[in-house]
Structure 1
Amino acid sequence: FFSVPSKMFPINIPVSLVPPTFQQHVQTSTQNLMSSSSSSSGVSPGTIVPNGAGITYQTVQELGAGCFGSVHKVVRTHDGKILAMKFQSLRDPKQIAEIHKEVQMLKRLRHPNIVHIIEDFRHSQYSCIVMQFCAGGTLQGYIKNRQGSKALSTLRIAGYLMQLAAGLAFIHSKNVTHRDLKSENIMMSANQEDVKLSDFGCGRYIPEGKNQVMTLSGGDLMIIPPEMAHRAQGVPQMGVVGPKYDMWGLGVIASELVSMKLHRKDICVTQPLCLDPAAQAQILMDAGRLHEGKFRRMLEHLLRHDPNSRWPATDVMGHIRKHFLQEKAASRIEPSKITTLSAKLGVPESSVLEAWSLFGKADQAGTGSLTLPQLKSMLILMGLEVSSRALMNQLDSDGDGRLSFEEFVVWWCQKDKAWVPTVHQDKQEVSGQLAKMETVFAIPAACSLVFTDEWNKYDSENSGLVTPVGLWTILSNCGVAMGTDIKRFLDSCGGDSQTMTFSFDDALHWTK
């Protein structure tokens, strides 16, 4: 379809001109999502929330509530995009100032491992913050649900910690400290391959040229670092806060992933971790016993009482990557298989062996294939900015949702010769990649520009993601004959079309 000349692409189809079945689908989907939903806060499922600028949202269900307010799953009514909305009361002037600070902070922090803010506005007595929806829930909930079952693999833990450290390294480079880092504030994607920092309500700016500030407040008292232990003891005095504050929090999260024990439920039930030497000793003992002790050294450096001796986020990333690259494959590959694949694919045997050295580290169970989370972790640890989902879509020839070794070898041997799908769609970079897009996706350069332009217009908040309905709209605006039966299109996207999202590269792969 992209062979159509770009001048024939109609641009900016008004919402009012979208076929009735589209808007009917949005309404029906919203009603389906709201079934069996309930709310413990003052915001009920089905509430219409206008942003004051012509866009409305409809609440679906409450995701969580606390003293701060509540977070709800919402649908943007004009396009069906599923998002999250944080409702906070505007009655307390101090809280209003804190909300404003959090919003301004989030607007500055755009990173793949940070939950994106879409917009903020006031509605009734609430401040409303619209954010990216993470269908996988919190890391705390994920660990809780897995307790009693098989532990996470070393690779998965390393992949999660690499992502969290990357997010921390980014905010610290922007002179921001989170101050409330815990598994409850880590969000996960639908397939649990991505983790993202969220809830910057306790976040604090560090003045330029300094690496810490003095403050009276901090985050969760049960996992507060030693330099702020006086708060847990009720002593009202100033304490030091800086990037190393967050590294203690990362150590707490790492210990939960390693041991599959939640601090509030299983470890620090009666007193904070920083005031419980026995709990600290147990954490290090567990780390030495589990996963062949591979995470003990890192935890020793993150849970140190002297903040200046804790590892920064960049050191954590370097340590994990170094140890991953030194890992041995879980099993050996037969020489005959190397020879066979080399001849079949027309690549050197050394390339097949090199691919196995990486693939075998990820396939610790020896199944001969990788799941999406395993692939994501491996790519992160290799330092490759590649969209794992786009790569899976591109290479999973049998559609079983797993990447076989042969499929991996195909990509590994051509990754330096063809365009590699990146995690983020960079507007400036895309214009320089048009020739490769034409080679890989068979999309003419002129049509690629139109597609990119329509993507950017639709994804105006620069979230990097669109729903299937959004993709349908983009393609319609590009002049593609999508027809009026949107349900048929959604069915072609899969059974989870109400909650799934496409990245820019996912969209290109799907389009091809």
Structure 2
Amino acid sequence: MDGLQKTNQTGALKILFEGAITQTTLVDIGVVCVDEYHLLGKGAYGSVFKGKLGDRNVAIKQFKLDPSRIIDAMQEISILKTCDMHENIVKYYGCKHQNEHLLIILEFCDLNLTNWVKNKSIEITPLEVLHQTTKGLSWLHHQKIVHRDLKPENILLTRKLVRVKLSDFGLSRQVADGHSHILTKNDAGTEGWLAPEILNQQLDESSNKFMFVSKTSC
């Protein structure tokens, strides 16, 4: 796939991508409605809106089908499918090709950590927030996944069952078997939350830990 991207064979890439969407979409995902007036946030490669999957409130990550983003989108879907069985990772419901956009349908959460710090509208202690965030990170590391963009906006909370959920895996990467880190460009993460390993272009689990400590020490 890298070869197709480097040689700009966009037609072949699109066919492969649409095939991957078919394989990763739920068999009966149902009708998906996007409320483009209710923007929840912006991820690494797309905007996230509130929407409906049948009668269920969901978050829908929407981005235009772009051959230059095909591999990134497939990686994000793959990581979501691998990790979402953990209670502290945002739930993945499926994806859908609709009106020249790829829709990634995710669990709807009530607010992010930034908003919670301001209003404490969900009854949970700071210690429990740290505990659940650590559990989510530990699960990612167990799956050999480096998040690369851990920040308060990507840590979500739900009122139901009072859960903390890690989200936005658009920049995440999986460490290959037999390796202890991944090489990366300086485009990973958000300014102000970057770990030294990112600046050195070598990422491992310690980069997530640095972002986590930086976030929780504020």
In the aligned structure 1, how far is the partner of 2:204 from the partner of 2:31? 39
In the aligned structure 1, how far is the partner of 2:52 from the partner of 2:206? 38
Letter in 2 for 1:98: D
Equivalent residue for 2:156?
Answer: 187
Aligned to 1:58, the other structure's residue is in SS state strand
Shift of 1:156: 1.4
CA gap of 1:66–1:182, structure 2 versus 1, over 3 A, is closer
Given the alignment, which residue of 236, 241, 245 partners 2:207? 245
Letter in 2 for 1:220: T
Equivalent residue for 1:206?
Answer: 175
After superposition, give the CA deviation of every residue in 1:211-264 in whole Å (9 maximum; x if it has no partner).
Answer: 2122224211221012333xxxxxxxx6110111000111122113xxxxxxxx
Answering whether residue 30 of structure 2 is matched by residue 88 of structure 1, we say no
Given the alignment, which residue of 106, 109, 113 partners 2:88? 113
Contact 2:64/2:100 (CA < 8 Å) preserved in 1?
A: yes
What runs of 5+ residues in structure 1 fail to find an aligned partner? 1-50, 147-151, 230-237, 257-512
Return the TM-score normalized by structure 1.
Answer: 0.35
Contact 2:96/2:104 (CA < 8 Å) preserved in 1?
A: yes
Letter in 1 for 2:143: K
Equivalent residue for 2:74?
Answer: 100
Equivalent residue for 2:192?
Answer: 222
In the aligned structure 2, how far is the partner of 1:86 from the partner of 1:202? 14
CA gap of 1:54–1:219, structure 2 versus 1, over 3 A, is closer
Aligned to 1:71, the other structure's residue is in SS state strand
In the aligned structure 1, how far is the partner of 2:62 from the partner of 2:165? 20
In the aligned structure 1, how far is the partner of 2:181 from the partner of 2:113? 28
Question: If each structure's strand is expressed as a fraction of its own residues, which one has the higher value?
Answer: 2
Contact 2:147/2:172 (CA < 8 Å) preserved in 1?
A: yes
CA gap of 1:169–1:67, structure 2 versus 1, over 3 A, is closer
Return the TM-score normalized by structure 2.
Answer: 0.78
In the aligned structure 2, how far is the partner of 1:157 from the partner of 1:163? 10
Identity of aligned residues (%): 28
* Equivalent residue pairs, number: 188
Equivalent residue for 2:49?
Answer: 72
Equivalent residue for 1:132?
Answer: 107
Aligned to 1:97, the other structure's residue is in SS state helix
After superposition, give the CA deviation of every residue in 1:76-115 in whole Å (9 maximum; x if it has no partner).
Answer: 23xx111111101113x22222111100111000200000
Structure number, greater radius of gyration: 1
Higher relative contact order (CA 8 A, sep 6+): 2
After superposition, give the CA deviation of every residue in 1:390-438 in whole Å (9 maximum; x if it has no partner).
Answer: xxxxxxxxxxxxxxxxxxxxxxxxxxxxxxxxxxxxxxxxxxxxxxxxx
After superposition, give the CA deviation of every residue in 1:285-313 in whole Å (9 maximum; x if it has no partner).
Answer: xxxxxxxxxxxxxxxxxxxxxxxxxxxxx
In the aligned structure 2, how far is the partner of 1:213 from the partner of 1:195? 27
In the aligned structure 1, how far is the partner of 2:216 from the partner of 2:27? 42
Shift of 1:208: 1.5
Contact 2:44/2:170 (CA < 8 Å) preserved in 1?
A: no
Answering whether residue 31 of structure 2 is matched by residue 56 of structure 1, we say yes
In the aligned structure 1, how far is the partner of 2:64 from the partner of 2:50? 18
In the aligned structure 2, how far is the partner of 1:96 from the partner of 1:144? 37
Aligned to 2:136, the other structure's residue is in SS state helix
Equivalent residue for 2:140?
Answer: 171
Question: If each structure's helix is expressed as a fraction of its own residues, which one has the higher value?
Answer: 1
Letter in 2 for 1:160: V
Shift of 1:191: 5.8
Equivalent residue for 1:382?
Answer: none
Aligned to 1:220, the other structure's residue is in SS state coil
In the aligned structure 1, how far is the partner of 2:92 from the partner of 2:29? 19
Shift of 1:162: 1.1
In the aligned structure 2, how far is the partner of 1:112 from the partner of 1:54? 21
Cα RMSD, aligned residues only = 2.5
Equivalent residue for 2:217?
Answer: 255
In the aligned structure 1, how far is the partner of 2:44 from the partner of 2:150? 17
| 1:81-480 equivalence runs, <5 A | 81-91=56-66, 93-109=67-83, 110-135=85-110, 137-145=111-119, 156-190=125-159, 193-217=162-186, 218-229=188-199, 239-256=201-218
In the aligned structure 1, how far is the partner of 2:51 from the partner of 2:154? 19
Aligned to 1:222, the other structure's residue is in SS state coil
